[in-house]
């Protein structure tokens, strides 16, 4: 009976050990899946960051292009005004109409001291900034301040007018923003799925770990039971051996007594 109980306890211990090994293999598999998901999450975050950087860079360049466009328009307006002022001054010099000198006086940056000889200077674009001699150079200067190259085509090779270039740039920018928005939305959804899957795997891994912990506790109890059974069986066997030895000794004593009685009876004359 002790042998049967001990064998049963050992079998239960072996079964629990196999279950624990199986759970350990499941945890290893889940760990690999979690590592894969972590890499996927990192890649998606990197993709989102890259899209954000592209949008930010495009927005910055677009703002710079708009600034260039506004400055170019202002320079063209100033150039037209210069031509008009110079033409008016030339006309007044030729016809000697000093009574119209107040026009130049009101338009001149400095006061006129004599109406007979208008003092309005010969305005030019270089008076405002000696380093910018043309609208094209102005655009190049704005682009260079941003660290890039001018996209304005050289004279004689441009296929688009300034307005058409600006409209094309704006359309391309709008399209870029739309594509980036869709890409970012898709990456965000994918990232959400990955994070959700990561959480589910983490929960499953925790559940298996809890189960493995419970199995280890059961294995501990099984070990304790096996040890107890072994001790009890060894004690029973020892008691049995002791009782058996005592019984053998009693039998020997009885045998000796029997032999003595038989010997004594043999000496008695029954007659």
Q: Which residues contact 237 (CB under 8 A, 6 or more apart)?
A: 2
CA–CA gap between residue 31 and residue 209 (Å, rounded): 12
Over residues 43-59, the pLDDT tens digits come to 878 878 887 887 888 78
Over residues 128-170, the pLDDT tens digits come to 343 434 444 444 544 444 444 444 444 443 434 555 666 777 7
Over residues 69-123, the pLDDT tens digits come to 777 666 666 666 677 677 766 766 666 555 444 444 544 444 333 333 333 334 3
- Mean pLDDT of the 209-235 span: 76
Is 80 exceeded by the pLDDT of residue 239? yes
- The pLDDT of residue 95 is 60
- The pLDDT of residue 255 is 85
- The pLDDT of residue 251 is 86
- Mean pLDDT of the 2-21 span: 70
Is 50 exceeded by the pLDDT of residue 64? yes
- The pLDDT of residue 204 is 76
Is 70 exceeded by the pLDDT of residue 22? yes
Over residues 173-207, the pLDDT tens digits come to 777 777 777 777 777 777 777 777 777 777 777 77
**Are 95 and 170 spatial neighbours (Cβ–Cβ below 8 Å)?**
no
pLDDT above 70: percentage of residues in the chain: 60
**Are 43 and 191 spatial neighbours (Cβ–Cβ below 8 Å)?**
no
CA–CA gap between residue 37 and residue 213 (Å, rounded): 25
- Rg value, the chain, Cα: 53
């Amino acid at each position: 009976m002790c042998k049967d109980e001990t064998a049963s306890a050992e079998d239960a211990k072996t079964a629990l050990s196999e279950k624990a090994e199986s759970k350990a293999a499941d945890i290893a598999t889940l760990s690999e899946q979690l590592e894969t998901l972590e890499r996927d999450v990192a890649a998606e975050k990197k993709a989102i960051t890259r899209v954000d950087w592209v949008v930010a860079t495009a927005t910055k360049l677009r703002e710079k292009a708009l600034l260039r466009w506004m400055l170019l328009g202002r320079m063209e307006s100033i150039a037209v005004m210069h031509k008009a002022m110079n033409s008016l001054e030339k006309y007044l010099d030729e016809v000697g109409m000093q009574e119209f000198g107040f026009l130049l006086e009101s338009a001149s940056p400095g006061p006129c001291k004599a109406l007979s000889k208008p003092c309005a200077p010969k305005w030019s674009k270089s008076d405002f900034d000696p380093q910018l001699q043309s609208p094209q150079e102005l655009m190049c200067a704005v682009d260079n301040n941003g660290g890039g190259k001018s996209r304005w085509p050289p004279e004689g090779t441009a296929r688009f007018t300034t307005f058409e270039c600006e409209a094309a740039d704006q359309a391309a920018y709008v399209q870029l923003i739309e594509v980036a928005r869709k890409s970012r939305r898709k990456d965000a959804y994918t990232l959400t799925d990955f994070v959700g899957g990561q959480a589910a795997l983490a929960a499953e891994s925790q559940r298996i770990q809890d189960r493995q912990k419970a199995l280890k506790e059961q294995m501990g109890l099984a070990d304790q039971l096996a040890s107890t059974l072994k001790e009890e069986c060894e004690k029973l066997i020892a008691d049995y051996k002791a009782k058996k030895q005592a019984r053998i000794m009693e039998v020997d004593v009885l045998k000796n007594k029997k032999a003595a009685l038989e010997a004594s009876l043999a000496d008695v004359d029954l007659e």
